[in-house]
Every structure is written in structure tokens, then in C-alpha cells.
Amino acid sequence: MSEVSTGPVTVEMIDGVARVTMFGPPVNALGLPLRKALVEALDGIAHDPQATAVLLTGQAKAFSAGADITEFDAAASSPDLRELVAKVEDFPLPVIAAITGVALGGGLELAMAANARIADPEARLGLPEITLGLLPGAGGTGRLPRLVGPARALDMILSGKPVSAAQAHHDGLVDAVFADPAAKDGVRWVAHFALKGDRTRTRDRQEKVEVAHAAPGTVAKLAAVPLHKAKDPYAAQAAVDAITAGIEVSFETGAQLEREKFDERRQSPESAAQRYLFTAERAARKPRNLSTGVGRRVARAGVVGAGTMGSGIAMALAAAGIPVTIVEAEQDALDRGLARIVDNLATSVAHGSRTEAAASSERALIETSLNYGALAAADLVIEAAFEDLQVKKDIFATLERHVRPDAVLASNTSYLNIDVLAAGTAHPERVLGMHFFSPANVMPLVEVVRGAQADAEALATGFELVRRIGKTPVVVGVCHGFVGNRMLEVRSAQAERLLVEGALPGQVDRVLTDFGFRMGPFAMGDMAGLDIGWRNRKAQGLTAPVSDAICKSGRFGQKTGAGFYAYEGRDRQDDRFVAELIEGVSAELGIVRRPICDQEILDRLTFPMINEGARILAEGIADRSGDIDVIWVKGYNWPAYRGGPMWYADQVGLAHVAERLQHYALLTGDESLQPSPLLGQLADDGTTFGGDSR
Ligand code: T1G
């Protein structure tokens, strides 16, 4: 076996098969150096008389994570990814991609240009460009449908979600699945393919698209549902347009439209926002106020409370292969919690998002008990009980009598003071907050609350556990509502005031859905249950005149068939009763109602949140404005293509935000709307939360 190394590429000749290995840590992003080295290596092979085929592979963690995202704002450089893909597709010898780890974006596009693909069973393959506000830009919109058919291609491209090797094999994206495909079995497979394999270029394969080709409009029909679900409607439509042209007209026509749409999207504010979030999320993984890498690995976990949150957290832990014991005070609560888990697992199997085997192995990792003694072996316990400080204090006191002295104790509280909880324990150094978002087995965000007395190991243990269960941790300080809920309370207060001043729930909700949220605050409240907020307000001695009046009339939202809206099942209708109730509240408060334009509603729902975000930064509760944006996108579905509240403020201009806040403070007499010192300062300085000067 001879070996030649060209920087990030190694070529080994093994019985006529040239194994080309990419080595561009950390994820084989296809930046210019790697592209150049690949072109050079392929040119060398083309002139090697010994060579009969090429096996193209990467590293264990990644075949390739795609184009180098950091290059997008730089000038194009040759060879670009499309040139590399064309070189592979038109190579004089058979090329087989051996995929380990991930093949994503341009990495998968490169592999799809090969004559065939073999993959490790643990490999994941996907086209996540849409999560960056883009569409595949190196032929993916034309090649993927030709391998897996239009429906699967639309689902993969518009969701951006990767698929397993098994799913890829089932769909026709991968030709064989076996362990370590770049090793000798893979070389043997390639040598066999060189003798007998079908070398039709992917772009020339028509069998999976010929029905749609013969029936224009088919792709549009198939695209309707994934388009509706897509989080970036602009990139999604661009992708559908390119896919449609590539099927209904020709591969080349589609490729040309793909190039045009890609360049348009790459320069769009929506893509800039989502590439910013990609970077902000990775920055949040390297907190400046918490040492990572010093945590203890959690071999066994515990959850106290089998309610919606407790059962969701237990599922998230089990899904990561962590044995977990749920402790409850009463058997029927425990039974209900377990039934919820079993039902969720069955639903995910029915939806195809989990295999039967995975569901049963996760179920097997979940134990239940009425006895805190069952937590004696736990390395970390998450309390997810009723949102009452005394209840939580009692639970922590009981926990300390049963768990190991070094076990980390975390509370899932959504706004209570972690330091008060910690002060009531014998070992406050091991107490922190881990605020999951509902449903905890689905929502990606966890606010890791940095208790003042928590030691570095406890904080790191909690933080690293969140990463291990595949969620996004963001470190936050202790205050009422931490970051997300503190800003949400400000938005909710303005939403209430807008009703009293003249708006109605339907208009307020529509303004936010037009902005890009899935739901507005009132529809969201009806879905969650208005009684929860009502109970919390009463516990804190707070009032919200309209919401309180609606709750007093027994309307708690969907669960009672009426709330801010009337419901037929899940279908909601504006309700004259609510309009009259709101008008009555305005009259009681002596407020003369006025028409309120959509722009004022949008400004008064977003700018006060931004103002609160500035206070949160000034107090050090959040370390970066990007952390706040990651929290709002991952925890509250702020539309990613708008980058998060602080990014949005930077785009709108902080001077404008400050001026509008002053205007609305004068208009409404609500002094809480006055710009905070940090916001005012940045506005005066002409800079942004992100530190850029404007
Ligand atoms: N380009 C540049 N850097 C990248 C990168 C990429 N594609 N992917 C990851 N990194 C960096 C990341 O910033 C971090 O850097 C380090 O690698 C580890 O990443 C033409 C145009 C592969 C699943 O969207 O999904 O191809 O912070 O912390 O959790 O159609 O990274 O350490 O300095 O995320 O193990 C499409 C994005 C590009 C894949 C690994 N590809 N990456 O996750 O590690 S557009 C993507 C990921 C495209 C073509 C189009 C994940 C991962 P640092 P990490 P991880």
C-alpha cells in the first residue's frame, strides 16, 4: 500500500482502490484548503495507472459537516464546492463515499455526486442548510430527489433534520450500511463495485422523479405540508422552487435556479440572522462565567416529581442512555407520570421519530419509586415539583437525608430563587437550577442557573449533562424568572395593557404571528391554561385585570373550551363575550379605548422585552446578548430568521428602540417603558448589543 499526503488529504493505494481521507478538524468543513487538496488528490489519482476506483472518506466524527460557514461572507474562491462536486461526479473512475459520523450540507452533496455511498450504522446524513436560512447550494436540490424521491427530499431539505444510516439506506440515499466502511470491508466493497457497479451519474437518474416530471404540480402538492412547517419560509420556498425546476424541467435548469436562489438567500438578512444564531449557540456552550470540563459524568440520575415536567425530563435523560429514577409522593401521580411517558414513547414510534427498540430500551432505563431512598445512588437529582418555594425547600431537605453528600441537586424551577433554596441545605455548594422548557423531552433549551454558592464542579456537572442529553445549555444568573421568563413577564404586561387600551386578543396575536411566531401570547395562554398564571399571580399578590376577569368567569383556555377565545376542539374563534369583558375592564379603569395600529402593538411587545434584556445584561444575569437570543429562539420560538430580540434590536437600531420606548412611556404614562441606562447609553454611542458600531 502506497500513501501520499497533501495537507488535509491522504491518498492510500490499496489493491487499486485509492482511499482518499479528508482531515480538516474539527468537522471536515469543506473550506478552501480542503477543497484544493481534494482536487489535487483526485488529479493525481486520475493519472495513476494502478487506480481502478476511489474510496472517499473523512474522520470518525465527520465525513464532512458541509461548506465552511465562516467563508460565507468572504469572496468566492476557486475551486468552489460546485466545481469539486462536478469533479467527483465526472471522475473517470468510480467514486464511492464511505460515510462515518456526519455527512451534512455540502458534505452530503459531495457524497451524492459519488457513484455510491456506504455508511457506518451510527452515521447521520442531512441537508441542514435551511437552519442557516439557506438552501442546498451544491446540487443537493437536484440530486437528493433523484436518490430518495421528491417527497423524502422535500421533507429532508425543508426540515433540515438529518436521518440515520438505516433510514438513508431504506430511502436509497445509501447503498450499504456496515461498520467502519473506510476499512478493508469498504475497500473490498469498492473494488467489487468497480467491476460490477452501476455508474450512472446521480444527476442522470430519473426513475425516482419521472412520475413527478410527467405531472407538473406534483412537487407543489408534496411541498405544501413541509412548507407550512418550515421555520424559514423564505429559504423553504427558494428550495421548493429549485427542486421543482430540477424535476419538472431538467437537472441543469434546477441547478441554475439553485445557484441564483442560494446567492440571494446567502445575502439575505434572514440568513445573516440564522448564521449569527449558529455562532451564538456555540458561544453559549463556552460560558465565560462557568468552567466546563470539570464536571462529573452522571451515571445515574433522579427526578423528583412525575408531572408534565418531571416525566419529560426523565424521558430526556433516558433518551441519552442515562438510567433515571422518578420519585413521587403519591402512587396515582407516579402512575399518571409513567403512563404519560409510555404514551409519548408510543406516539414517537408511531410517528417514526423513534424505533420500537429505542423506545423500549429508554423505557427500561426509567424506574419509579415512592421512596427517596431509591435516589441513594444518583449522581444528580432534578427536582420538578410544584412551583412553591416551601414545597421545594422541604423536598431539598428530604433529599439531603437520602442522597450522597456529593450528589448534585438541581431545581427545575422556572423563576424561584435558587440561592434561597440552596441556603436551606447542608451543602449549598451542590445546588443549582436547571430550568427545562415544556415539553422537556422536546424543547432544546435549558437555562443553567448559577447559584451563588454552587461550586465549579456542580455547575459543570449540570451544564455538561445538558449537552450530553442533546440540549442547549445557557448559563443564567439568579433573579425572578432568570432570563426568558423575566422578559416574558414584561411582554405579557404590555399585552394586557394593549387590551385595556383598545386592542383585542385576535389583533395582538395576529401581529406576533405575522412577525413569525407560531402563536401569539393569548392563544399560547389558552393552550397552556390561564389558571396556572392566575394562581402564580395570586401567590405573588399581582393582578392582570383582563386575565383575572377571564379566569374569574371560569374560562381557563382550551381545557375549559373557552379562554381569550372560544373553542370548538382546538379551533379557536374570536369571542364577543371576551370583547365585552375587556371593554368592561377598560370602563372600570376609566380608560377610554382607542384604535391601536399593528406597528404600536409590535413595538410594545418587543421593545420592552429588549429593554429588559438590556437590564439583564447590565446586571450580569446573562453574560452575552447572544445568550439572550439563543434563549428566546430555543425556548420561546422567537423566529430564528429574525435572530432573537437583541439581534432584532440591533437591526432596527437601538436609537429607534429608545426613541419609541420614550414615546410610548409618554403616551401611556407607563414609566417602566423608559429606556434602561444600558440601552440609552448604547443608543447614544451609536453602537449595538453585538458590539458593532452603527
Ligand atoms: N463550517 C465551519 N465550522 C463548523 C461547521 C461548518 N459547517 N460545522 C461546525 N463547525 C465548527 C463549530 O462552529 C465549532 O467551532 C466546531 O466546528 C464544533 O462544532 C453548499 C452552503 C457537525 C453536528 O449546517 O451541525 O454546506 O465553536 O460545537 O456539537 O449546500 O457542528 O469549536 O470554534 O457544533 O459535535 C451546512 C453545521 C453548512 C452543519 C457537530 N452544514 N454543524 O456538532 O460540535 S452550509 C451545517 C453542525 C452548506 C452547501 C451549504 C455541528 C455538527 P468552535 P459543534 P458538535
Question: pLDDT tens-digit profile of 384-400?
Answer: 998 889 999 999 999 99
Eight-class DSSP state of 619? T
Please report, for the domain that includes residue 72, its CATH number. 3.90.226.10
The answer on pLDDT for 401 being more than 70 is yes
Residue 496 within any structural domain of the chain? no
- DSSP E strands in 598-678: the ranges are none
Alpha carbon 245 to chain centroid distance? 30
Last residue of a domain, one of 266, 292, 314: 266
Q: Does the residue 551 lie in any domain?
A: yes
Q: Residues 121, 260: one domain? A: yes
Per the structure block, which three cell numbers stand in for 626? Answer: 447572544
pLDDT at 508 over 80: yes
161 in the same domain as 224:
yes
Residue 101 falls inside a structural domain: yes
Q: Is the pLDDT reported for residue 694 higher than 70?
A: no
Provide the pLDDT for residue 692: 76
* Claim to verify: residue 144 and residue 208 sit in the same structural domain: yes
Is the pLDDT score of 4 beyond 70? Answer: no
pLDDT bracket for residue 581 (50, 70, 90): very high
Query: Quick check: CB of 490 below 6 Å from ligand 1?
Result: no
Position 332 in a domain: yes
Average pLDDT value for residue range 79-96: 97
Q: Which of 374, 377, 449 is nearest to 407 (CA)?
A: 377
Enumerate residues 6+ apart whose C-beta is below 8 A from 587: none
pLDDT recorded at residue 422: 95
Q: Verify that 455 and 551 share a domain, yes or no.
A: no
- CA-to-CA separations, 271 to 40, 275, 499, 641, in angstroms, rounded: 32, 6, 34, 7
Model confidence at 418: pLDDT above 90: yes
At 555, which CATH number? Answer: 1.10.1040.10
Q: Smallest Cα–Cα separation from 102: which of 60, 156, 132?
A: 60
Q: How many other CB atoms sit within 10 Å of the CB of residue 493?
A: 15
Domain contains 20 = yes
The dihedral over CA atoms of 31, 37, 40, 45, expressed in degrees to the nearest 10, equals -120
Task: Answer whether 304 contacts ligand 1 (Cβ < 6 A).
Answer: no
Q: What are phi and psi of 55, to 5 degrees?
A: -110, 115
Could you give phi then psi for residue 125, rounded to 5 degrees? -130, 135
Assess whether 37 and 176 both reside in one domain.
yes
Taking only the tens place, the pLDDT of each residue in 52-63 is 999 999 999 999
pLDDT over 90 percentage in the chain:
90
Provide the mean pLDDT of the chain.
95
Q: Which of 210, 239, 266 is the last residue of a domain?
A: 266
Task: Average the pLDDT over 178-184 and give the result.
Answer: 97
**Cβ(27) – ligand 1 distance below 6 Å:** yes
Closest Cα to atom 39, ligand 1: which residue? 65
Q: pLDDT per residue over 206-254, tens digit each?
A: 999 999 999 999 999 999 999 999 989 999 999 999 999 999 999 999 9
| pLDDT of 107 higher than 70 | yes
Angle between helices 233-248 and 140-148 (to 10 degrees): 70
Catalytic residues: 109, 129
In a 3-state reduction of DSSP, which class is residue 6?
strand
- 471 and 521 part of one domain: no
Same domain, 52 and 152: yes
Task: Note the pLDDT tens digit of each residue in 513-567.
Answer: 999 999 999 999 999 899 988 988 888 888 999 999 999 999 999 989 999 999 9
355 shares a domain with 210: no
pLDDT computed for residue 1 by the predictor? 60
Does 348 share its domain with 306? yes
| Per-residue pLDDT at 540 | 82
- Which tens digits make up the pLDDT trace of 244-273? 999 999 999 999 999 999 999 999 999 999
If one compares 532 and 680, the residue with the highest pLDDT of the two is: 680
Which residue has the CA at smallest separation from atom 10 of ligand 1? 27
pLDDT in tens, 615-641: 999 999 999 999 999 999 999 999 999
Q: The domain that contains 355 carries what CATH number?
A: 3.40.50.720
Regarding the beta carbon of 464 and ligand 1, being less than 6 Å apart is answered: no
In a domain, 620, yes or no: no
| Domain identity same for 60 and 168 | yes
DSSP 3-state of 489: helix
pLDDT for 9? 96
Q: For residue 599, give every residue at least 6 positions away whose Cβ sits within 8 Å of its Cβ, in sequence order, or none.
A: none
Ligand 1 centre from 95 Cα, in Å? 25
Q: Provide the Cα torsion 654, 655, 660, 661; round to 10°.
A: 60
- Say if ligand 1 is within 6 A of residue 506 CB: no
The pLDDT, as a whole number, for residue 75 is 82
State how many domains the chain has.
Answer: 3
User: 510 and 476, same structural domain?
Assistant: no
Residue 438 lies in domain: 301-480
Q: Residue 6's pLDDT band (boundaries 50, 70, 90)?
A: low
Report how far apart, in Å, the C-alpha atoms of 38 and of each of 49, 61, 189 are: 19, 19, 22
Q: Do 153 and 40 belong to one domain? A: yes
Give CA–CA dist 334/369, Å, rounded. Answer: 8
Q: Using DSSP bridges, classify how beta strands 2-6 and 9-14 pair: parallel, antiparallel or unpaired.
A: antiparallel
Last residue in a domain, options 588, 611, 643: 588
Whether the pLDDT of residue 658 is over 70: the answer is: yes
Expressed in angstroms and rounded, the spacing between residue 356 Cα and the centre of ligand 1 is 30
Instruction: Flag whether 381 is in a domain.
Output: yes
Q: Which atom belonging to ligand 1 lies closest to the Cα atom of 132? A: 24
Say if 116 falls within a structural domain.
yes
Residue 107 CA to residue 82 CA, distance in Å, equals 11
User: For residue range 127-178, what is the model confidence (pLDDT) as tens digits?
Assistant: 999 999 999 999 999 999 999 999 999 999 999 999 999 999 999 999 999 9
